[in-house]
Copies of this chain bind each other. A is one copy, B any other.
Amino acid sequence: MKHNRPNKTLRLISITIGILFLSGLFFAAIAAAPMAKTQVPGYYRMMLGQFEVTALADGFHDMNMELLRNAPEARIRILLERNYLDYPKVKTPVMAYLINTSASLVLVDAGAGKAMGPSFGNVIPNMKASGYDPAQVDAVLLTHMHLDHVSGLLNSEGKPAFPNALIYVSKAESDYWLSPSVAEKAPAEMKKYFKLAQDAAAPYISMGRWQTFDKGNLPIEGIKAVPIPGHTPGHCGYEVKSGRDSLIIVGDMVHSIIVQAALPDVAVSFDKDQKQAIASRKAVFKSAARTGQLIAGMHIPFPGIGRLRADGENTYTWVPIDFAPMP
Protein backbone atom coordinates (compact mmCIF):
# COMPACT_ATOMS: atom_id res chain seq x y z
CA MET A 1 0.00 0.00 0.00
CA LYS A 2 1.65 3.11 -1.32
CA HIS A 3 0.21 5.51 1.24
CA ASN A 4 2.11 3.64 3.99
CA ARG A 5 5.53 4.57 2.66
CA PRO A 6 5.70 8.08 4.24
CA ASN A 7 4.58 6.62 7.57
CA LYS A 8 7.31 3.97 7.45
CA THR A 9 9.90 6.61 6.53
CA LEU A 10 8.69 8.87 9.35
CA ARG A 11 8.79 5.96 11.80
CA LEU A 12 12.36 5.12 10.68
CA ILE A 13 13.42 8.75 11.13
CA SER A 14 11.78 8.88 14.58
CA ILE A 15 13.51 5.67 15.64
CA THR A 16 16.86 6.92 14.34
CA ILE A 17 16.47 10.24 16.17
CA GLY A 18 15.46 8.35 19.31
CA ILE A 19 18.54 6.11 19.12
CA LEU A 20 20.84 9.09 18.53
CA PHE A 21 19.24 10.94 21.45
CA LEU A 22 19.64 7.98 23.81
CA SER A 23 23.26 7.40 22.66
CA GLY A 24 23.90 11.04 23.38
CA LEU A 25 22.52 10.70 26.88
CA PHE A 26 24.54 7.51 27.36
CA PHE A 27 27.80 9.06 26.25
CA ALA A 28 27.12 12.21 28.23
CA ALA A 29 26.68 9.96 31.26
CA ILE A 30 29.98 8.11 30.76
CA ALA A 31 32.17 10.88 29.33
CA ALA A 32 34.13 13.14 31.63
CA ALA A 33 34.24 16.91 31.45
CA PRO A 34 36.13 17.98 28.32
CA MET A 35 39.86 18.38 28.94
CA ALA A 36 40.83 21.91 29.95
CA LYS A 37 44.23 21.64 28.21
CA THR A 38 45.30 25.09 29.44
CA GLN A 39 48.46 25.73 31.41
CA VAL A 40 48.79 27.89 34.51
CA PRO A 41 50.02 31.45 33.74
CA GLY A 42 53.79 31.56 33.38
CA TYR A 43 54.80 33.65 36.33
CA TYR A 44 56.16 32.95 39.80
CA ARG A 45 56.63 35.43 42.61
CA MET A 46 58.90 35.57 45.65
CA MET A 47 60.28 38.12 48.08
CA LEU A 48 63.99 38.93 48.07
CA GLY A 49 64.49 40.84 51.29
CA GLN A 50 62.15 43.82 50.92
CA PHE A 51 62.05 43.49 47.11
CA GLU A 52 59.40 41.58 45.20
CA VAL A 53 60.72 39.42 42.34
CA THR A 54 58.44 38.00 39.64
CA ALA A 55 59.78 35.44 37.18
CA LEU A 56 58.04 35.83 33.80
CA ALA A 57 58.10 33.14 31.11
CA ASP A 58 58.29 34.57 27.60
CA GLY A 59 57.99 31.15 25.95
CA PHE A 60 59.54 27.73 25.41
CA HIS A 61 61.35 25.99 22.59
CA ASP A 62 63.16 22.71 22.01
CA MET A 63 66.79 23.67 22.36
CA ASN A 64 69.25 21.54 20.44
CA MET A 65 71.89 20.19 22.82
CA GLU A 66 74.14 19.48 19.83
CA LEU A 67 74.91 23.22 20.03
CA LEU A 68 76.85 22.63 23.26
CA ARG A 69 80.63 22.73 22.80
CA ASN A 70 83.76 21.59 24.58
CA ALA A 71 82.65 18.20 26.01
CA PRO A 72 82.19 14.80 24.37
CA GLU A 73 78.62 14.18 23.21
CA ALA A 74 78.51 10.97 25.27
CA ARG A 75 79.20 12.89 28.45
CA ILE A 76 76.46 15.43 27.70
CA ARG A 77 74.02 12.65 26.84
CA ILE A 78 74.69 10.88 30.13
CA LEU A 79 74.17 14.07 32.15
CA LEU A 80 70.84 14.70 30.45
CA GLU A 81 69.72 11.06 30.75
CA ARG A 82 70.52 11.05 34.46
CA ASN A 83 68.00 13.88 34.72
CA TYR A 84 65.41 12.20 32.50
CA LEU A 85 65.98 14.70 29.69
CA ASP A 86 66.11 13.69 26.03
CA TYR A 87 68.99 14.23 23.64
CA PRO A 88 69.32 16.31 21.56
CA LYS A 89 66.09 18.36 22.10
CA VAL A 90 65.41 19.78 25.56
CA LYS A 91 62.42 22.03 26.28
CA THR A 92 64.02 25.33 27.31
CA PRO A 93 62.40 28.60 28.38
CA VAL A 94 63.09 32.22 27.63
CA MET A 95 62.65 34.09 30.91
CA ALA A 96 62.50 37.69 32.08
CA TYR A 97 62.46 38.99 35.66
CA LEU A 98 60.44 41.83 37.14
CA ILE A 99 61.69 43.47 40.33
CA ASN A 100 59.69 45.85 42.45
CA THR A 101 62.09 47.67 44.80
CA SER A 102 59.27 49.94 46.10
CA ALA A 103 61.09 52.87 44.48
CA SER A 104 61.26 51.37 40.98
CA LEU A 105 59.58 48.67 38.92
CA VAL A 106 62.43 47.12 36.95
CA LEU A 107 62.25 44.51 34.20
CA VAL A 108 65.39 42.53 33.35
CA ASP A 109 65.20 41.58 29.66
CA ALA A 110 62.05 41.80 27.58
CA GLY A 111 61.66 38.42 25.86
CA ALA A 112 61.30 37.81 22.14
CA GLY A 113 58.15 39.81 21.40
CA LYS A 114 57.00 38.82 17.90
CA ALA A 115 60.51 37.88 16.68
CA MET A 116 60.41 34.14 17.43
CA GLY A 117 56.90 33.11 16.52
CA PRO A 118 53.76 32.23 18.49
CA SER A 119 55.50 30.15 21.19
CA PHE A 120 57.09 33.36 22.48
CA GLY A 121 56.07 36.90 23.30
CA ASN A 122 54.41 36.14 26.65
CA VAL A 123 56.29 38.53 28.91
CA ILE A 124 53.50 41.11 28.71
CA PRO A 125 50.52 38.70 29.05
CA ASN A 126 52.26 37.01 32.01
CA MET A 127 53.16 40.38 33.54
CA LYS A 128 49.49 41.41 33.29
CA ALA A 129 48.34 38.05 34.74
CA SER A 130 50.75 38.71 37.63
CA GLY A 131 49.14 42.06 38.38
CA TYR A 132 51.31 44.65 36.62
CA ASP A 133 50.87 46.75 33.51
CA PRO A 134 53.78 47.38 31.11
CA ALA A 135 53.14 51.13 31.47
CA GLN A 136 54.13 50.84 35.16
CA VAL A 137 57.66 49.65 34.29
CA ASP A 138 60.20 52.34 35.20
CA ALA A 139 63.32 50.68 33.78
CA VAL A 140 64.26 47.76 31.55
CA LEU A 141 67.77 46.38 32.10
CA LEU A 142 69.09 44.36 29.17
CA THR A 143 71.59 41.55 29.74
CA HIS A 144 72.41 41.68 26.03
CA MET A 145 70.79 42.43 22.70
CA HIS A 146 69.96 39.02 21.20
CA LEU A 147 66.42 38.87 19.82
CA ASP A 148 64.97 36.74 22.66
CA HIS A 149 65.94 39.46 25.15
CA VAL A 150 65.40 42.67 23.22
CA SER A 151 62.60 42.22 20.67
CA GLY A 152 59.99 42.22 23.43
CA LEU A 153 60.73 45.94 23.88
CA LEU A 154 58.22 46.33 21.04
CA ASN A 155 54.55 45.42 21.44
CA SER A 156 52.45 43.58 18.85
CA GLU A 157 51.97 46.84 16.90
CA GLY A 158 55.74 47.42 16.79
CA LYS A 159 55.42 50.34 19.25
CA PRO A 160 57.33 50.71 22.55
CA ALA A 161 55.90 48.12 24.93
CA PHE A 162 57.20 50.02 27.97
CA PRO A 163 56.36 53.64 27.17
CA ASN A 164 57.40 55.02 30.55
CA ALA A 165 60.63 53.07 30.97
CA LEU A 166 64.24 54.01 30.54
CA ILE A 167 66.16 51.20 28.83
CA TYR A 168 69.61 50.40 30.25
CA VAL A 169 72.25 48.38 28.45
CA SER A 170 76.04 48.25 28.66
CA LYS A 171 77.84 50.63 26.31
CA ALA A 172 79.89 47.80 24.79
CA GLU A 173 76.70 45.86 23.95
CA SER A 174 74.85 48.88 22.58
CA ASP A 175 77.83 50.05 20.53
CA TYR A 176 78.26 46.58 19.00
CA TRP A 177 74.67 45.96 17.87
CA LEU A 178 73.87 49.53 16.89
CA SER A 179 77.04 50.12 14.87
CA PRO A 180 76.30 50.31 11.13
CA SER A 181 79.89 49.33 10.35
CA VAL A 182 79.83 46.22 12.60
CA ALA A 183 76.49 45.19 11.13
CA GLU A 184 77.80 45.69 7.62
CA LYS A 185 80.81 43.43 8.24
CA ALA A 186 78.66 40.71 9.88
CA PRO A 187 78.09 37.44 7.99
CA ALA A 188 74.88 37.39 5.95
CA GLU A 189 73.06 34.99 8.33
CA MET A 190 73.77 37.34 11.27
CA LYS A 191 72.47 40.51 9.67
CA LYS A 192 68.87 39.90 10.73
CA TYR A 193 69.95 39.85 14.40
CA PHE A 194 71.50 43.30 14.02
CA LYS A 195 68.31 44.51 12.33
CA LEU A 196 66.12 43.15 15.16
CA ALA A 197 68.30 44.77 17.84
CA GLN A 198 68.26 48.10 15.97
CA ASP A 199 64.48 47.95 15.46
CA ALA A 200 63.92 47.30 19.17
CA ALA A 201 66.19 50.15 20.22
CA ALA A 202 65.09 52.75 17.63
CA PRO A 203 61.90 54.16 19.22
CA TYR A 204 63.52 54.37 22.66
CA ILE A 205 66.53 56.17 21.15
CA SER A 206 64.12 58.64 19.47
CA MET A 207 62.40 59.27 22.80
CA GLY A 208 65.74 59.78 24.58
CA ARG A 209 65.06 56.72 26.71
CA TRP A 210 68.02 54.57 25.61
CA GLN A 211 70.66 54.71 28.35
CA THR A 212 74.07 53.06 28.19
CA PHE A 213 76.43 52.50 31.09
CA ASP A 214 80.14 51.80 31.32
CA LYS A 215 80.64 50.30 34.74
CA GLY A 216 78.31 48.70 37.27
CA ASN A 217 76.64 51.92 38.34
CA LEU A 218 72.91 52.13 37.75
CA PRO A 219 70.64 54.80 39.23
CA ILE A 220 68.54 52.05 40.84
CA GLU A 221 69.03 51.46 44.56
CA GLY A 222 69.76 47.78 45.24
CA ILE A 223 70.58 46.73 41.67
CA LYS A 224 73.98 46.84 40.01
CA ALA A 225 75.30 45.65 36.68
CA VAL A 226 77.89 42.86 36.74
CA PRO A 227 79.81 42.33 33.50
CA ILE A 228 79.69 38.63 32.47
CA PRO A 229 81.48 38.85 29.13
CA GLY A 230 81.78 36.12 26.52
CA HIS A 231 78.30 35.39 25.22
CA THR A 232 78.17 38.82 23.53
CA PRO A 233 80.62 41.75 23.63
CA GLY A 234 78.86 43.60 26.44
CA HIS A 235 76.89 40.81 28.13
CA CYS A 236 75.95 41.86 31.67
CA GLY A 237 74.34 40.25 34.64
CA TYR A 238 72.43 42.20 37.28
CA GLU A 239 72.91 41.72 40.99
CA VAL A 240 69.87 42.46 43.14
CA LYS A 241 70.35 42.91 46.89
CA SER A 242 67.90 43.64 49.65
CA GLY A 243 68.70 43.09 53.30
CA ARG A 244 70.72 39.88 53.53
CA ASP A 245 69.20 38.41 50.34
CA SER A 246 71.07 38.49 47.07
CA LEU A 247 70.20 37.35 43.56
CA ILE A 248 72.35 37.45 40.45
CA ILE A 249 70.47 37.43 37.14
CA VAL A 250 72.96 35.89 34.73
CA GLY A 251 71.24 36.36 31.37
CA ASP A 252 72.66 33.87 28.85
CA MET A 253 75.54 32.67 30.97
CA VAL A 254 73.71 29.31 31.08
CA HIS A 255 71.98 27.42 28.26
CA SER A 256 71.66 24.01 29.94
CA ILE A 257 71.94 24.24 33.72
CA ILE A 258 72.04 20.43 34.02
CA VAL A 259 75.07 20.15 31.74
CA GLN A 260 76.84 23.39 32.59
CA ALA A 261 76.51 23.11 36.39
CA ALA A 262 78.23 19.72 36.22
CA LEU A 263 80.65 20.88 33.50
CA PRO A 264 81.12 24.68 33.64
CA ASP A 265 83.62 24.39 30.78
CA VAL A 266 80.83 23.53 28.34
CA ALA A 267 80.08 26.48 26.07
CA VAL A 268 77.33 26.99 23.50
CA SER A 269 77.79 27.75 19.83
CA PHE A 270 76.00 31.11 20.38
CA ASP A 271 78.83 32.30 22.66
CA LYS A 272 80.76 34.85 20.65
CA ASP A 273 83.90 34.28 22.73
CA GLN A 274 83.60 30.76 24.16
CA LYS A 275 86.83 30.94 26.15
CA GLN A 276 85.76 34.19 27.81
CA ALA A 277 82.22 32.84 28.39
CA ILE A 278 83.66 29.77 30.16
CA ALA A 279 85.93 31.91 32.34
CA SER A 280 83.00 34.18 33.27
CA ARG A 281 80.75 31.23 34.15
CA LYS A 282 83.39 29.56 36.26
CA ALA A 283 83.93 32.75 38.27
CA VAL A 284 80.20 33.38 38.85
CA PHE A 285 79.50 29.72 39.73
CA LYS A 286 82.40 29.57 42.18
CA SER A 287 81.27 32.71 43.98
CA ALA A 288 77.56 31.79 44.03
CA ALA A 289 78.22 28.26 45.30
CA ARG A 290 80.42 29.65 48.07
CA THR A 291 77.91 32.26 49.24
CA GLY A 292 74.67 30.43 48.41
CA GLN A 293 73.58 33.45 46.39
CA LEU A 294 70.42 32.94 44.33
CA ILE A 295 70.95 32.67 40.57
CA ALA A 296 68.34 33.40 37.91
CA GLY A 297 68.93 32.64 34.24
CA MET A 298 67.04 33.35 31.06
CA HIS A 299 67.28 29.70 29.88
CA ILE A 300 67.12 27.84 33.18
CA PRO A 301 63.92 25.76 33.70
CA PHE A 302 61.01 27.92 34.89
CA PRO A 303 60.98 29.84 37.18
CA GLY A 304 64.70 29.81 36.45
CA ILE A 305 65.76 30.56 40.03
CA GLY A 306 67.91 28.41 42.29
CA ARG A 307 71.30 27.92 43.86
CA LEU A 308 74.43 25.89 43.22
CA ARG A 309 75.95 23.24 45.43
CA ALA A 310 79.64 22.51 44.91
CA ASP A 311 80.24 18.79 44.35
CA GLY A 312 83.98 19.19 43.89
CA GLU A 313 86.44 21.49 42.15
CA ASN A 314 84.61 23.23 39.27
CA THR A 315 81.56 20.94 39.32
CA TYR A 316 78.18 21.76 40.79
CA THR A 317 74.57 20.62 41.21
CA TRP A 318 71.68 22.95 40.45
CA VAL A 319 69.21 23.26 43.36
CA PRO A 320 66.03 24.95 42.11
CA ILE A 321 63.97 26.93 44.61
CA ASP A 322 60.79 25.24 45.82
CA PHE A 323 57.41 26.76 44.95
CA ALA A 324 56.06 28.55 48.01
CA PRO A 325 53.13 30.86 48.70
CA MET A 326 53.82 34.57 49.10
CA PRO A 327 54.38 35.52 52.76
State whether the Cβ of A30 lies closer than 8 Å to any Cβ in chain B: yes
Q: Given A38-B130, A324-B91, A138 and B32 touching (CB < 8 A)?
A: yes
Contacting residues, chain B, for A37 (C-beta < 8 A): 45, 52, 326
Known contacts A302-B323, A307-B84, A322-B301: does B32 contact A38 (CB below 8 Å)?
no
A104 — which chain B residues lie within 8 A by C-beta? 32
Contacts A130-B38, A323-B302 given; indicate if A82 touches B32 (C-beta within 8 A). Answer: no
Contact with B along A59-85 (1 / 0, CB 8 A): 110000000000000000000001111
A82-120 contact mask (Cβ, 8 Å, vs B): 1 or 0: 111100000101000000111111000000000000010
- Residues of B contacting A323 in the complex (Cβ-Cβ under 8 angstroms): 42, 57, 93, 301-303
**Inter-chain contact B60/A35, CB cutoff 8 Å:** no
Interface residues of A in 152-194 (CB under 8 A from B): none
Interface residues of A in 287-306 (CB under 8 A from B): 292, 301-303
Q: Mark A115-132, 1 if CB is under 8 A from B, else 0.
A: 000010000000001111
Chain B residue numbers with a CB within 8 Å of A307 are 84
Contact of A207 with B by CB under 8 A: no
Q: From A119, which residue of chain B is reached at the shortest CB distance? A: B325
Given A103-B30, A103-B31, A91 contacting B36 (CB threshold 8 A): no
Residue of chain B at shortest CB distance from A52: B35
A105-B33, A309-B82 as given contacts; A60 in contact with B100, CB under 8 Å: no
CA distance A44 to B40 in the complex (A): 6
A49 contacts partner chain B, Cβ-Cβ < 8 Å: no
Q: List 20 A-B contacts (CB under 8 A).
A: A30-B103, A33-B105, A33-B132, A35-B52, A35-B102, A36-B130, A37-B45, A38-B130, A38-B326, A39-B44, A40-B41, A40-B130, A42-B323, A59-B325, A60-B324, A60-B325, A83-B309, A84-B319, A91-B322, A302-B323
Write the chain B residue with the least CB distance to A292. B84
Within 8 Å of chain B (Cβ to Cβ): is A203? no
User: Taking A32-B104, A32-B105, A33-B105 as contacts, is the C-beta distance between A38 and B320 under 8 angstroms?
Assistant: no
**CB contact between A45 and one of B40, B102, B132, B320 (< 8 Å): that residue:** B40
Q: At the interface, yes or no: A136 with Cβ under 8 Å from chain B?
A: yes
A40 to B57 Cα, complex, angstroms: 12
Assuming the A-B contacts A301-B322, A319-B84, A324-B91, are A36 and B30 also in contact, with contact meaning beta carbons closer than 8 angstroms in the complex?
no
Q: Are A32 and B326 in contact (CB under 8 A)?
A: no
Bound state CA distance, A307 and B37, in angstroms?
23
B30 touches A52 (CB 8 A): no
For A83, the closest partner residue in chain B by CB is B319
For residue A285, CB closer than 8 A to chain B, the reply is no
Question: Pick the contact of A32 from B36, B60, B101, B303 — CB < 8 Å?
Answer: B101
